[in-house]
Amino acid sequence: MVSVTSMAHRILKYVPFVLVLIDLRYEGVKCGKTVDVESHLEMGKKLLAAGQLADALSHFHAAVDGDPKHYMAYYRRATVYFAMGKSKSALPDLSKVIELKPDFTAAVLQRGNLLLKQGKLDEAEADFKKVLNSNPNDKDEKEAQSQLKKSDEIQRLVVEARAHFDRRDYSTTVVYLDKVIETCAWDVESRDIRAECFMQMGEMAKAITDLKATSKLRSDNTQAFYKLSSIYYHLGDHETSLDAVRECLKLDPDHKQCFGHYKQVKKLSKQVQSAEELIQQQRYGDAVSKYEAVMKTEPDVPQYVQQAKERICHCLSKDQQGAQAIPVCSEALESEPNNVNVLKDRAEAYLQDEQYEEAIKDFESAQEHSENDRQIKEGLERAQRLLKQSQKRDYYKILGVKRTAQKREIIKAYRKLAQQWHPDNFQDPEDKKKAEKKFIDIAQAKEVLTDPEMRSKFDQGEDPMDPESQQGGHRHQHFHGFNPFQGFNPFGSGPFSFKFSHN
């Protein structure tokens, strides 16, 4: 019986020989034996026909590596690039095919078409002429003649476009460039000029489309990213502006224009972000300060000034500073009269300032542009109730306090008025009767406004002391049989009785 150790020695004895065979086989594949290249080409063709582009490309890569002088391997790989929409990658392969086999008409024609799309008109014309001089078949000859004629026409259009651009006739320049780009879809220079025309004409959306295209068509197009960032910035989209200028700096960290612009955009973006975070935290006063800083940072860009005014209007309204909010909101609405959010905020500010009819107008205007907004509907109903309520009895007015008054302010006002209008202070029967009524109103106002639940109802337009305004016609149980003169002390918290003498 052979021992394990002995068997291991025998195997190891042949390992070098096996490794040499493997290495030779690898070198054979690497050197590109015809059988291996043809096998890859055949398999690649089958996969291409089946639509398996990535796998087909792998086989054509292997064929090119196996035989760098096999023109068909390059041509097949270019075909896959075309199918994958990577025409730019196909161009070097087509040039290699023509270098290895100058009379390969199909490759020359395809390269000419590709160069025409890129706007390289002189090079494209050279290829079309080469096809015509190579005794082509009828189909290739007809296509080459057609493309050569088209290239000549494009040359003329380009000259016209540049002449009009130099004269700053941007709209006419665009007309010519539209025709150029219709054929030369990948022409970076024509798109750059057309983008500049759109910018001068104020058609920023169209300029953005062209600049995005040129940033992809030319990998080092820092200027396109700078222009994109500038456009987005002046449109008020600081976040997208920041993304674009960062792309510029990725390509060239020392780009002066992009770096300077980056610092400006970053500063403003940070201020806006900080302000919005403060709003989320309901720190409205601090948020107002931040947005005032935004207006100082970029006073010449209307979009940021407008945005700052909108948000300051919102903050002041939320902070119950109606009187201060109204003029800011009104300024924001001068630029955008139909801005629903600002209309809602100003309506709330009007309510706080007890301008109910104005609030109703704003809510109705907002509703015209946003019919299904529940907040607007509820706000309008509340404003209508408050208007109706204001025409009856207003507890805030009775005590002479603001709607934002704290409890201690309400009690202080009540004590002062209760002392002033106490019926014992009046001797004349008519004056006493008037004082008693006034005293009851003051007492009821104090009770409603110092009770959180009833104050909330009153703020929504419902009078807790009025049976008609209660749902179902019932008063709040706390006020059933209310008597302000029984156990009632306007100057303390304990039981107290006043004696009235009626003459």
Q: Phi first, then psi: what are they for 489, rounded to 5°?
A: -130, 110
Report how far residue 130's alpha carbon sits from residue 146's, in angstroms, rounded to the nearest whole number.
14
Report how far residue 34's alpha carbon sits from residue 46's, in angstroms, rounded to the nearest whole number.
18
pTM, whole model, 2 decimals?
0.66
Three-class SS state of 297: helix
DSSP secondary structure string, 253-295? TT-HHHHHHHHHHHHHHHHHHHHHHHHHTT-HHHHHHHHHHHH
pLDDT band at 468 (very low <50, low <70, confident <90, very high): low
At 16 the pLDDT is 44
Q: Does pLDDT of 367 surpass 70? A: yes
Asked if 491 and 415 count as a contact pair (C-beta separation under 8 A), the reply is yes
Comparison of pLDDT for 487 and 237, the residue scoring more: 237
pLDDT band at 8 (very low <50, low <70, confident <90, very high): very low
Domains of the chain: 102-215 (1.25.40), 216-390 (1.25.40.10), 398-479 (1.10.287.110)
At 459 the pLDDT is 86
Q: Does pLDDT of 437 surpass 50? A: yes
pLDDT, the chain, mean: 86
Q: Does pLDDT of 487 surpass 70? A: no
Query: For the residues 387-403, what does the mean pLDDT come to?
Result: 85
- 149: exposed, middle or buried (Cβ count in 10 Å: 0-12, 13-18, 19+): exposed
pLDDT band at 484 (very low <50, low <70, confident <90, very high): low
Report how far residue 209's alpha carbon sits from residue 195's, in angstroms, rounded to the nearest whole number.
8
At 447 the pLDDT is 92
Report how far residue 238's alpha carbon sits from residue 298's, in angstroms, rounded to the nearest whole number.
12
pLDDT band at 470 (very low <50, low <70, confident <90, very high): low
Report how far residue 338's alpha carbon sits from residue 370's, in angstroms, rounded to the nearest whole number.
10
Report how far residue 333's alpha carbon sits from residue 365's, in angstroms, rounded to the nearest whole number.
12
Asked if 403 and 382 count as a contact pair (C-beta separation under 8 A), the reply is no
Asked if 164 and 172 count as a contact pair (C-beta separation under 8 A), the reply is yes
Which one-letter DSSP state was computed for residue 174? H
Asked if 255 and 229 count as a contact pair (C-beta separation under 8 A), the reply is no
pLDDT tens per residue across span 116-160:
999 999 999 999 999 999 989 999 999 999 999 999 999 999 999
Q: Which of 288, 278, 332, 354 is nearest to 345 (CA)?
A: 332
Exposure b/e, 330-364, CB count within 10 A at least 16 = b: ebbbeeeeebbbbbbbbbbbbbbbbbbebbbbbbe
Asked if 194 and 168 count as a contact pair (C-beta separation under 8 A), the reply is no
pLDDT band at 433 (very low <50, low <70, confident <90, very high): confident
Which one-letter DSSP state was computed for residue 484? T
pLDDT band at 469 (very low <50, low <70, confident <90, very high): low
Q: Does pLDDT of 490 surpass 90? A: no
